[in-house]
Amino acid sequence: MKPIKVGLLGLGTVGTGVVRIVENHQDDLLSQTGAPIEIAKILVQDLSKQRNIPISRDKLTDNPRDVIENEDIDVVIEVMGGIETAKTYILEALERGKHIVTANKDLMALHGPEILAKASEKGCDVFYEASVAGGIPIIRTLIEGFSSDRITKIMGIVNGTTNFILTKMSQEGAAYEDVLKEAQALGYAEADPTSDVEGFDAARKMTILGTLGFRANVALADVSVKGISQVSKEDIAYGKKLGYEVKLLGIAERQDDLISISVQPTMVKQSHPLASVNGVFNAVYVYGEAVGETMFYGPGAGEMPTATSVVADLVAVVRNVKLGIGGRRAFVPYKEKKLKTDEQISAKQYILLHVADKAGVLAQITQVFAEYDVSLESVLQHPNPSNPNAEIIIITHEANQASMKKVLKKFEQLDVVHAIKSVYRVEG
């Protein structure tokens, strides 16, 4: 029986996991696909580097042409990371009729439409399950599982580093800077953690999920992004007192074919399932018009969870090849993208103000909300011995973003408001 030959671009953490699974699960893969799967060539940077898996030296190469131009290779798996070089290799491989599996969220968020268009032109498959939420099969679920439903909202914890930091801050009362150092020491956060803590990594993933969920070409620039670097242990503590946990959420919403997508620290009601997703775990909550509410939970990163998603995509590609339908089931967004305006985006808000500690201040503040037609759900004035200002915590009823911007601008002009310390969306 002729094997399906695979070329692997990259042999880092995920690439190593892919080799382990393919080598150790041959019987399972054969039963699922009807063909043996063989990793024929692997592109590496350093041929002399010691590997922690046994692998034949003649399978390794430092020349990408040995993979991309190899006529025996049917499928190319890209797990090398980066954007421009990976994009070049993938487009060249597609030009030669090779199917693609990638775990590259940055690439798919920025250049997904171009890559998928080339795949469609060449009759090739491009699968990228591992690009979002590691071992959680969320991409295939959005494409296939919700194919008969209309998704109205996708809300998720899609970055394990920030979830680890916020969990430790919540459970231990620690400061952000201290937990970030711990996350870096444990290898959960990079030496430069900007992509994670400022929300850019999550924004790329929400670009992909928004495109799939709403069947429209969402661009990274369409995502409003705010990270967790300004979240204080006071925010976490006050949230707990009010019955909330702080999570960095990606939120994609659709109403009457108008969409909005954001990444932001969010006060999540403790009774909501996302509030109990802790550590480096990810979870994606999907609302469908027919099915209602569903949640998908699991490890968001790591060698084996991510490699499992990569190999699942490989199995799907091989099945399509065996059936002769490769490239015919490609996902192509077909809806026009219509973004909501600030007047059309609405949510509850948590606001922490530092104000002058004197009579009449609260009346001035509530008057501002009334002026812009924002109603209040709760107002709490909290003494803080370490703060000479009074601290006022407000949770609004649902209000549109345009009105909230006007409220906050007015607060900046009030002498009695010394600082707008925090503003977070409220969910659940």
Render 223-275 in DSSP notation, one character per residue.
EEE--STT--HHHHHHHHHTTEEEEEEEEEEEETTEEEEEEEEEEEETTSGGG
Residue from 348, 353, 355 nearest 376 by CA: 348
What pTM did the predictor assign?
0.90
Instruction: Provide the pLDDT for residue 330.
Output: 67
Catalytic residue among 87, 118, 205, 247: 205
Instruction: Give 1 or 321, the one with higher predicted confidence.
Output: 321
Instruction: Provide the pLDDT for residue 414.
Output: 95
* Statement to judge: residues 171 and 274 lie in one domain: yes
Q: Which domain holds residue 289?
A: 138-299
* Statement to judge: residues 145 and 100 lie in one domain: no
pLDDT surpassing 90 at residue 109? yes
Q: What is the DSSP letter of 228?
A: S
| CB-CB contact of 352 with 391 (8 Å) | yes
| CB-CB contact of 180 with 197 (8 Å) | yes
User: How many domains does one find in the chain?
Assistant: 3
Region 181-187: mean pLDDT is: 90
Instruction: Provide the pLDDT for residue 127.
Output: 94
* Statement to judge: residues 276 and 159 lie in one domain: yes
pLDDT digits (tens, 9 = 90+) for 110-164: 999 899 999 999 999 999 998 998 888 899 899 888 989 999 999 999 999 999 9
329, burial (CB in 10 Å: exposed 0-12, middle 13-18, buried 19+): exposed
Tell me, what CATH number does 115's domain have? Answer: 3.40.50.720
- Is 46 within the bounds of a domain? yes
pLDDT digits (tens, 9 = 90+) for 262-285: 999 999 999 999 999 999 999 999
Region 359-368: mean pLDDT is: 93
* Statement to judge: residues 310 and 294 lie in one domain: no
CA distance 29 to 22: 8
pLDDT surpassing 80 at residue 421? yes
- Is 125 within the bounds of a domain? yes
CB crowding 331-366: b at 16 or more within 10 Å, else e: bebeeebeebeeebbbbbbbbbbbbbeeeebeeebe
Residue 327 binned pLDDT confidence (cut-offs 50, 70, 90): confident
* Statement to judge: residues 153 and 292 lie in one domain: yes
* Statement to judge: residues 115 and 259 lie in one domain: no
* Statement to judge: residues 123 and 174 lie in one domain: no
pLDDT digits (tens, 9 = 90+) for 216-250: 999 999 999 999 999 999 999 999 999 999 999 99
- Is 395 within the bounds of a domain? yes
- Is 328 within the bounds of a domain? no
Known catalytic residue: 59?
no
| CB-CB contact of 24 with 93 (8 Å) | no
* Statement to judge: residues 319 and 350 lie in one domain: no
Tell me, what CATH number does 295's domain have? Answer: 3.30.360.10
Q: What distance separates the 2 farthest-apart alpha carbons in the chain?
A: 85
Of 299, 332, 355, which residue sits at a domain end?
299
- End-to-end Cα distance, the chain: 54
* Statement to judge: residues 154 and 85 lie in one domain: no
- Is 373 within the bounds of a domain? yes
CA distance 229 to 214: 30
Average pLDDT, the chain: 93
Residue 71 binned pLDDT confidence (cut-offs 50, 70, 90): very high
CA distance 336 to 256: 12
- At residue 248's C-alpha, the angle toward residues 247 and 251, to 5°, is 110
pLDDT surpassing 90 at residue 41? yes
Instruction: Provide the pLDDT for residue 329.
Output: 66
- Is 392 within the bounds of a domain? yes
* Statement to judge: residues 263 and 351 lie in one domain: no
* Statement to judge: residues 123 and 211 lie in one domain: no
Percent of all residues in the chain with a pLDDT value above 90, rounded to a whole number: 80
Number of other CB atoms surrounding residue 205 within 10 Å: 26
- Is 341 within the bounds of a domain? no
- Is 166 within the bounds of a domain? yes
* Statement to judge: residues 47 and 84 lie in one domain: yes
What are the tokens at 159? 């970055």
| CB-CB contact of 72 with 5 (8 Å) | yes
